[in-house]
Homo-oligomer: A and B are copies of this chain.
Amino acid sequence: MEKYKLFDAEYKFASIVWDNEPINSTELVRLCTDKLGWKKSTTYTVLKKLSDRGILQNKDAVVTALVKREDVQKYESNAVVEKSFEGSLPKFLTSFLGERKITEQEAEELKQIIEEAVK
C-alpha cells in the first residue's frame, strides 16, 4: 500500500493528530506551533494534502484520522525490511540485535509475539 507512505514532516504531523483526535483545527494549529514550530499556513497545507490523500479528514473544523497509526507503521516496518534487508525478517532481527543484549523477560515477550504469528 503505497498510500500509507508518509514523509517525515507528514509523519510528525499525523502523530500529533493521532495523539489528540478528534481535535479542532485551530487548536491543532496551536499544537503544531508549539511542538513543531510551524506557522498556521504550514499546518493547513500539510493537513490539506493528507486529507486529499484520504489519510486525515477535516470536517467542520474537526480533524480526525481516517487511517490508523498502526497501518502506517506496518507500511514503514515492511518498507525498511524490504529496502535494507531483502525482505528478510531474520536478517533484520540479527542486525538490530547485534551485540546488544536483552533480558530473559524481553526475550519471552518477543517469542510470544512470534508464536502468535504461527498458524
Contacts and interface: CB of A to CB of B under 8 A. Distances in A.
Given A111-B111, A117-B100, A84 B77 contact: yes
A96 B118 contact: no
A96 B78 contact: yes
- What is the total number of copies of this protein in its complex? 2
Interface in A4-57: 11
Interface in A57-110: 70, 72-74, 76-78, 80-81, 83-85, 89-98, 100-104, 106-107, 109-110
Given A76-B84, A80-B77, A84-B73, A118 B104 contact: yes
Nearest to A84: B76
Most buried by B among A73, A93, A103, A104: A93
Given A84-B76, A89-B110, A119 B94 contact: no
A110 to B, nearest CB: 5
A113 B93 contact: yes
Interface of A: 11, 70, 72-74, 76-78, 80-81, 83-85, 89-98, 100-104, 106-107, 109-111, 113-119
Given A74-B98, A77-B85, A107-B118, 14 more contacts: A72-B84, A74-B95, A76-B84, A77-B84, A81-B96, A89-B106, A90-B106, A90-B109, A93-B113, A94-B113, A97-B113, A100-B117, A107-B117, A111-B111
